[in-house]
Chains A and B, each alone.
Chain A
Amino acid sequence: MEELPAADPDPGDVVIATRALTKRYRGGQLAVDGLDLAVPAGSVFGFLGPNGSGKTTTIRMLMGLIEPTSGTARVLGRPMPGASRAVLPHVGALIEGPALYGFLSGHDNLVRYDAADPTADPRTRRTRVAAALDRVGLTAAAGKKAKAYSLGMKQRLGLAAALLQPRRLLVLDEPTNGLDPQGMREIRALIREVAADGTTVFLSSHLLDEIEQVCTHAAVMAQGRLITQGAVADLAAGARGRLVVTTPDVGDAARVLKERGIGDVVVEENRVTGEPPEGDPAAVTAALVAAGVRVRGFGVERASLEDAFVALTGEGFDVEG
């Protein structure tokens, strides 16, 4: 195997870089349309989009499983799928759920996947497999046939296969799909742990809160196009928070807020919300009290990533969970 350069020659240390990456399937369906993606080294990068938005097709192109119709993709500074042999030993991947040999035990599944890597030393195979099983907490079930595994166990075994070697990049496509809340928490802890080791994690999901909890950077796709990408903090900052007044006198409160020039006032039960005021919010409080509104609560709610994405993608964005 050719050795990878220790330092990425690309500017800014980018682990994944695509340029106008496009995939049109036979039959004319445009799955990915002119994608320009830049995943910084060391980031936990959330790749967000509704089901069918082209996330998995993109990942398959990055992993060399399918050929782009046009455009280029570089992973770890090398072109894909051309440099698969040099790049992929440094990449662990979980693509569209785990796939296992049902007639083999969990342990033997990992032995098989490890044997498929021509850069894996057979003398240390058992140690690697045992360590990977231990890392995902499957040591006790290692001897069981994989077909008897629950979905959560299969998912963990798939993760173990991705973690057989120390990786520079971990690509996880919907890693918490089908897991219970406890399983989700464990996977997220594992992702943070891997990221703390310096591995770049590329995580696709249709769950906003998942991205918000673990990712430092994110990109949003819809209908094959990239809508936005950047640091999660910047993306969330792009959406403004909302002023929230909790009061039984919603009618009066709404009138006062409108008089103060606050836009987009929405009256709910026991609550009035609006755009944050330009000046000091305390002035608004004083006006409300002066008008005899009984204020139970007053504040500006921080914008969530979800607000940012809904603002970007409109109501049509199908966010589940």
Chain B
Amino acid sequence: MSRAERAQSTGQRTDQRTDQRTDQRTDQRTGEQAGRRTGPADGTYARTPSPLWTFGLLRSELVTTFRRWRTLALLAVLAAVPVLVGVAVKIETSDGSAVGGDGEGPAFIAQITNNGLFLVLTALAATLPFFLPMAVGVIAGDAIAGEANAGTLRYLLVAPAGRARLLIVKGATTIVFCLVATVVVAVSALVVGALLFPLGEVTTISGTRIGLAEGLARALLIALVVAASLIGLAALGLFVSTLTNSGIAAMATTVGLLITVQILDQIPQLDALRPYFFPHYWLSFADLLRDPVHWDDLLRNLGLQGVYAAVFGSAAWARFTTRDVTV
């Protein structure tokens, strides 16, 4: 294709000024008709954007994140955990013996054979300490640092994505990932539980019995609470991500912080500090299965996640909006 043809087929823009508004015609393929291109001399390059267009970046970010093989692999690993637990329980109890009767293994594991719905709770209890937050740490840590590492950050900023807008989009996408990751675990567990075990009335921790429908509703609520439990770590990871130009370093630091805090949370001598560690109330989601629900620790957990999100979200904003982008 010759240069002239190429220039022609790029289509031309016709800018028209009508009263106050600058109206812009969209590209038109002109085919063989060679038209005159309007230059900037008429000064009508100004566009009148719709406020809704700003969501294009969020959509792009979500699509880009969830189409990555890395994201899909993380979700596949998370989906595999309930399958492993379910199959293991099924095999171990195939001779009629009970599993975890002496209190070993993740919470609720003993109830799975009676009611497949408990596999959802077991799987969430098994993945919440490490698998889920690790996946969130990878996504959050890579959010800004990964773009910086690839050099794509500078092009997003000159597009111009806007620093605050880009940070908000990255944060929102990380939170969506928290929710999707949790839902993947829960749905996988529900499917496996329904296939391998009977479903029926649910016995709460308090000993009362609730119907299957309410049991499902509570399981959904628990998944939402677990997803919300990850927000503090997501904000921490996003802040770490604004500090460095290496995606790997940000991911490793975030996951390292997670492990460190998890260990510190086990040390009794740190009793005074422990309620301020973000994973401290993570397992409080089980209180949703009491009758009536014990809200104290649940609310403390959500409040703590909110504080972490506010503190590290602000820190990330302060850092990212003033930082020199030199990569």
Contacts and interface: CB of A to CB of B under 8 A. Distances in A.
Interface of A: 1, 3-7, 60, 63-67, 84-85, 88-91, 93, 95-97, 99-104, 111-125, 127-128, 131-132, 134-135, 137, 158, 161, 165-168, 189, 193, 197-199
Interface in B134-166: 150-152, 154-162, 165-166
Given A89-B47, A113-B156, A193-B7, A118 B26 contact: no
Contact of A66 (B6, B59, B67, B326): B326
A141 to B, nearest CB: 14
B324 interface: yes
Given A99-B150, A131-B11, A134-B10, A161 B155 contact: yes
A250 B180 CA distance: 84
B122 to A, nearest CB: 34
Contact of B325 (A3, A66, A102): A66
Contacts of A158: 155
Q: Which 5 A-B pairs have the closest CB atoms?
A: A6-B43, A99-B151, A198-B39, A116-B159, A115-B60
Contacts of A121: 24, 26, 47, 49-50, 53
Contacts of A104: 64, 67
A65 B325 contact: yes
B27 A124 contact: yes
A221 B136 CA distance: 46
A118 B6 contact: no
B261 interface: no
B151 A63 contact: no
B51 to A, nearest CB: 9
A116 B60 CA distance: 8
Interface in B1-48: 1, 3, 6-7, 9-11, 13, 22, 24, 26-27, 37, 39-48
B324 A66 contact: yes
Interface in B188-213: none
B40 A198 contact: yes
Contacts of B7: 135, 193
Given A60-B154, A167-B45, 4 more contacts: A3-B22, A100-B150, A112-B64, A118-B56
Q: Is the interface of A mostly helix, strand, loop or mixed?
A: loop
Contact of B158 (A91, A102, A120, A124): A91
A122 B56 contact: yes
A124 B56 CA distance: 12
Interface residues of B, number: 53
B93 interface: no
Contacts of B151: 96-97, 99
A116 B11 contact: no
6 contacts: A60-B154, A66-B325, A85-B162, A89-B47, A95-B155, A198-B40
B2 to A, nearest CB: 11
B27 A60 contact: no
Contacts of A117: 159-161
Nearest to A194: B7
Contacts of A100: 150, 152
B160 to A, nearest CB: 4
A134 B1 CA distance: 10
Contact of A65 (B9, B49, B152, B154): B154
Given A7-B43, A65-B157, A118 B162 contact: yes
A155 to B, nearest CB: 13
B57 interface: yes
Given A1-B47, A113-B159, A197-B39, A131 B10 contact: yes
B160 A99 contact: no
A1 B49 contact: yes
A161 B154 CA distance: 12
B320 to A, nearest CB: 12
A88 B157 CA distance: 9
B43 A65 contact: no
Nearest to B51: A118
Contact of A85 (B27, B42, B59, B160): B160
Instruction: Output the residue of A4, A116, A161 with the most chain B CB within 10 A.
Output: A116
A3 B22 CA distance: 9
A66 B246 CA distance: 18
B158 A168 contact: no
Nearest to A31: B326
A144 to B, nearest CB: 16
A225 B230 CA distance: 50
The listed residue with most B CB atoms (<10 A of its CB), out of A63, A93, A118, is A118
A127 B155 contact: no
B41 A131 contact: no
A118 B40 contact: no
A127 B27 contact: yes
B26 A65 contact: no
Contacts of A132: 10
Nearest to A163: B10
A120 B37 CA distance: 20
A135 B6 contact: yes
A161 B152 CA distance: 12
A115 B165 CA distance: 12
B1 A116 contact: no
B9 A134 contact: yes
A118 B49 contact: yes
Contacts of B13: 166
B11 A119 contact: no
Contact of B45 (A90, A96, A124): A90
A64 B157 contact: yes
Contact of B54 (A6, A91, A118): A118
Contacts of B94: none
Contacts of B43: 5-7
Contacts of A64: 157-158, 160
